[in-house]
Amino acid sequence: MIESLRVRWAIIAVVFLGALVWTLPNFINTEKMWWPTKSRMVLGLDIQGGSHLVLRVDVDSAIKQDTARTAEALKNEMAEEKTPVKAVNVTNPLNGSMAIELNKAEDAAAVRTYLDKFYSGVIQITNETPQTMSIQFTELHIRDFRSKLLDQAIATIRNRSEEFGVAEPSITAQGTDRILVQLPGIKDASTAKDLINRTARLDFMIVDNSVSEQSLVAMIDEAEKAGNFKFADMKYSQYVDKLNEALKAKLPPNSVVYFEKPENAASMEVARRPYVLKTNQIVMGDRLTNAQVGIGEFGKPVVHFTFDAIGARQFGDLTTKHSREQMAIVLDKIVKSAPSINEPITGGRGQITLGGGRDHNQSLAEAKVISTALRAGALPATLEQLEERTVGPSLGADAIQKGQLGAAVAALLVFGFMALYYKGFGIIADLALAFNLLITVAILSSLGATLTLPGVAGLALTLGISVDASVIIFERIKEEMRHGKSLWGAIREGYDRAFSSIFDSNVTSIAVCVVLYYYGTGPVRGFAVTLLTGLVITTFTAVFFTRAVIDLLVGRWKWKLPV
């Protein structure tokens, strides 16, 4: 028995010291001192405040681009399948309407067969004439496209936020095209916007040189004067959209104007270089598999990127078809660079050159931001900021102080009741309660968990369950003593009989927590993690720890604990 008791106390000592090490960083500053861990719990948006953003996913633009890509792909694919057509033109990009111009009326049957084979459920035929076949995306495809676009944007923002070190961001859909983003701990809204939108979209687009730069600049000046708008008075994305709408009739079909900041310019307000880019000759960044910072020519930082198998084929086809032409690397509708394609790039690898105008450290910092965002995933559609604000704790500082006071008073009442009603056993239960809280905080700190108000509720419920387990044990002990057993005999019988009840109740509660964590998001998961951690620890503190203390006091030292 003595050896067994020593082993149990050795386990308790190790657990206590470990919990103390992981808990202290929450209360003392360990950044400037040696300490085994720097991890601590993060306070949620409802407690510590943070950034609140409402974003709109530009689904319509994504559908337009998907329509343009599909039209181009249909013509090329049918030619490869020996079903040549004269042209595939976009008639209404918002609903995916296209018109296939046939070489001869007899080709209609082959086109129908091809569409049924490769685009069943995606494209439907709406009208036919001897010369033209009208087709359109099915309603199911459009609805599925919109839904997947929103889901992919949410998943990408979440991955990106977590990679940037934001613990448990709250990212939820609102309606069919809006996303609510809450980032706890980020007090600067501009940091939050940069974090999410830094590379909201990456595209590789072919430059259309049929319009000279001089002519394009003149067209832009004329459009600004006619529309009475200026670059300096608008957000970049708004300016680009308005400009392209104004130039729609003057630009070549399936093209758009984006700008590049010259190497030595401080900002685009100072200077910008326009490009006409083909919207139907494009490879999207969602096919990227990796991006890393490297050193390029002349020792300048660059970003190396790699495509997956499909992206590598698409990129290879694009660079093969447009060899000796310029290809723009576009981030957030901003042309980062527009190098010439000297030869087809079929290996699925490439790099983004950041250009000059910055020192090495600035270039390196920019490269790290871009590579991190690319690794987290390119967003499938452009995001527009509808609302942004920095928020304080939702309950207010005064309410939080009152909540802390209330929690302290409640804890004192529980501790006091246990000590007064169960006397010696109650004091042991209070020690187990404090030990339970210490271990819970340590585990949550080691996980870097976010403590939200639901999490605080989980902590409070954990303490209640822990006390409940002690009450079951002590009532069993008192019942056995009423039946005439000695104190030591009642203790052994009480623990043996109570353990099965405590274990069964904890297992069922743990199952509920697992379900909440699996299906829940954000604060619900925080509540589930906190409660699940506490439930597992309760078995250790309420049974293992209290039994070790009582065995030492009553069995080893022969103390007569008041009951």
CA distance 515 to 511: 6
- Average the pLDDT over 158-173 and give the result: 66
Q: Which CATH class is domain 198-382?
A: alpha beta
Share of the chain above pLDDT 70, in %: 84
What residue segments make up the domains of the chain, in order of their start?
2-46+396-556, 69-139, 198-382
For residue 255, the model assigns a pLDDT of 92
Name the strand (E) or helix (H) holding 112: helix 107-118
Q: How far apart are CA 274 and CA 218, in angstroms?
A: 11
**Between 302 and 185, the higher pLDDT residue:** 302
Distance (Å, whole) CA 64 – CA 97: 10
- Whether domain 2-46+396-556 has CATH 1.20.1640.10: the reply is yes
pLDDT over 80 at 130, yes or no: yes
Report pLDDT for 188: 62
Q: How confident is the model at residue 125 (pLDDT cuts 50, 70, 90)?
A: very high
The confidence score (pLDDT) of residue 3 equals 66
What gap in Å lies between CA 62 and CA 384, rounded to an integer?
13
Which pLDDT belongs to residue 396? 54
- pLDDT, position 1: 56
SS3 520: coil
Is the fold of 2-46+396-556 the same as that of 198-382?
no
What CA–CA distance (Å, rounded) separates 90 from 94?
10
Residue 133: per-residue pLDDT = 93
What is the mean predicted confidence (pLDDT) over 309-331?
Answer: 85
More confident residue, 124 or 184: 124
How far apart (Å, rounded) are the C-alpha atoms in residues 284 and 226?
34
Q: Which of 89-98, 159-168, 440-449, 462-471 has the lowest mean pLDDT?
A: 159-168
How much is the pLDDT for 398?
62
Task: Say what the pLDDT of residue 563 is.
Answer: 56
Report the distance separating Cα 242 and Cα 259, nearest Å.
14
Higher model confidence: residue 561 or residue 489?
A: 489
> What is the SS3 assignment for 50?
strand
pLDDT in tens, 503-523: 888 888 889 889 988 887 667
Coil, strand or helix at 129: coil
Contact 499/538 with Cβ under 8 angstroms? Answer: no
> What is the per-residue pLDDT for 280?
87
Tokens of 324: 């000796």
The answer to whether residues 546 and 557 touch, using CB atoms and an 8 Å cutoff, is no
Instruction: List the structure tokens of 391.
Output: 């928020």
Mean predicted confidence (pLDDT) in 531-553 = 87
pTM: 0.51
The band of 394, judged by pLDDT with boundaries at 50, 70 and 90, is low
Average pLDDT rounded to a whole number, residues 27-49: 73
Indicate whether 156 pLDDT > 60. yes
439-497 tens-digit pLDDT = 988 988 887 777 777 777 788 787 777 888 888 888 888 888 888 888 888 888 888 88
Mean pLDDT lowest among 28-42, 278-292, 438-452: 28-42
Give the Å distances, CA to CA, from 266 to 245, 263, 338, 345: 27, 8, 19, 33
Q: What pLDDT was estimated at residue 219?
A: 93
pLDDT of residue 400: 60
Cα separation, 141 vs 235, in Å, equals 32
Q: Measure the CA dihedral 128/133/139/140, to 10°.
A: 110
Least confident piece of the model among 197-201, 333-337, 425-429: 197-201
Mean pLDDT, the chain, rounded, equals 81
pLDDT, position 356: 55
Q: C-alpha angle with apex 126: 122 to 127, nearest 5 degrees?
A: 145
The H-or-E segment that residue 128 falls in is strand 123-128
Place 387 in a pLDDT band, splitting at 50, 70 and 90: confident
Residue with tokens 């729609």: 248
CA angle at 516 for the pair 515 and 517, rounded to the nearest 5°:
90
Give the pLDDT confidence score for residue 345 in this predicted structure: 80
Cβ–Cβ under 8 Å, residues 180 and 172? yes
More confident residue, 285 or 468: 468
| Mean pLDDT of the region 335-347 | 81
More confident residue, 324 or 465: 324
Query: Side by side, which strands form the sheet with 288-295?
Result: 288-295, 301-307, 349-353
**DSSP per-residue letters across 244-310:** HHHTTTTSPSSEEEEEE--TT-SSTTT--EEEEEEEEEEEEGGGEEEEEEEE-GGG-EEEEEEE-HH
- Looking at residue 562, its pLDDT comes to 59
Read off the amino acid at residue 107. D
At residue 190, does pLDDT exceed 80? no
Strands (E), 185-244: 202-207
